[in-house]
Structure 1
Amino acid sequence: MNSRWIVGAGDHLDLVFHAWKQAYPDEHIQKVEVPQGADYEFDLSVFDTLNPELGDVFIAFDDRFGNFKRMELFRAALERGFTLASFVSTSADIGQDVTLGKNVFIGPQAVIGHGCKLDYNSVVHAGAHIGANSRIRASVWIEPGVQIGARVEIGAHAIIRTGAIVRSGIKVGKGAELGWPQLYSADIADKTVYDTRYDEPIFVYGS
């Protein structure tokens, strides 16, 4: 039997590992923790203990550093020849013609409307709703209970926090973070951060 390795660190590693074990108890699933140093660099030597011909990998890491640390592990696995699987909870409601990229996680009771496209390395947590024909770009993080309308586009590396409601037809820019628990009814520029610690959004300019 081929193995499935859940590779990463932190709470999200535990969440994904247990979700996969519960959904597929007959599969050979192993949790592989990747150490990090004081400088947050990963010890990628853990991949050397795994044989890409004997199983596939799911990368499980949270939204820290704008989802780029999860992307770093994702790229390391691809460079070493691993196949990256995606996970869809058995209790999620997935519409017709939904397209999932590599290493996508869809949690329990999530609803993904018909015609949606979710690019690689994105996370949709439990109870989130995404309306029909929406586009979720690469390495997005959508927290539990988020409500996203139809025909919404979420830019790469965006973070949508619990309590956010995104009206239909809205475009959320690359690297934006919607942290205020409110209705977002206008387009959001790239790298705009709504942080609950501040009364005004933070605008980040430049590359």
Structure 2
Amino acid sequence: MMKTKKLIIVGASGFAEIAHEYFDADTEYEVVAYAVEEEFLKTDTLNGLPVVAFETMHQRFAPQEHSVFVAATYTQLNRLRARLAAASKEKGYALASYISPRAFIWRNVELGEHCFIFEDNTVQPFVKVGNNVVMWSGNHIGHHSKIKDNCFISSHVVISGFCDIGENSFLGVNCTIINNIEIAKDNWIGPAVTITHNTDVAAFFKPAKHEPASVNTYRFLRIKEE
């Protein structure tokens, strides 16, 4: 794809490297640098590109000529990503989104700014997605549902129809939200948790704790121990 725009990735984590790879493969953005807050600046380069201080990046990379994507995950219930995105806008940068061409996004879905949607997501009709939302791979977002600002949806999450996911919430791998449920803001829903009722603000749902059986696999399957 022809590279017609320049992009700075804020962050130097694994997600930052993944974002670089996806923007490079699928979009018109050319990634030209990484930026981190000065107190976390530990190296000058990453993947052959400069790593600069976030506070002064505008001096080297003009906001009028560059966009920004903040590659932070769910740190502080997504507040780090939200804060750095807002600070980037204040510096005059446009915020970039990545929407995988291998995701299924129905034609009337409404998407906010600064979103990252991985491959194999299914987003059904009349869904509304707010700003600064990350959807890792393989989720199902049911019809007429709303995902509000600053959420992080990890992999293989099922959000059924007519659901409302509150701001800043985190939904863990393989969790399920049945239809017509309101998840309040600042919720943490752990892996494989099923939500069948509306939740309170800042609710924390721990995953079930699984203990090993009293017999091991050798005995259960009648295999001679090695």
Q: Deviations for 1:29-60, whole angstroms, at most 9, x for unmatched residues?
A: 2341314637xxx8522343221111211111
Aligned match of 2:59:
48
Give 1:103 shift.
0.4
Match of 2:36 among 22, 34, 37: 34
Q: CA RMSD in A?
A: 2.0
How many residue pairs get matched?
Answer: 195
Counterparts of 1:56-75 in structure 2, within 5 Å, are 56-75=67-86
* 8 A Cα contact 1:10 1:62, kept in partner: no
Q: Which stretch of the first structure deviates more once superposed, 53-62 or 135-144? A: 53-62
TM-score by length of 2: 0.80
TM-score by length of 1: 0.87
Question: Which of the two has higher C-alpha Rg?
Answer: 2
Match of 1:144 among 152, 155, 159: 155
Matched, 1:17 2:20: yes
Give 1:171 shift.
0.5
Match of 1:79 among 83, 90, 93: 90
Q: In structure 1, what residue type is equivalent to 2:73?
A: D
* 8 A Cα contact 2:139 2:155, kept in partner: yes
Structure 2 portions without partners, runs of 5+ = 41-52, 211-226
Q: Deviations for 1:94-125, whole angstroms, at most 9, x for unmatched residues?
A: 01211111101110111111111111101111
* 8 A Cα contact 1:100 1:118, kept in partner: yes
User: Does the residue aligned with 1:53 lie in a helix, a strand or coil?
Assistant: coil
CA separation of 1:55 and 1:197: change in aligned 2, threshold 3 A:
same
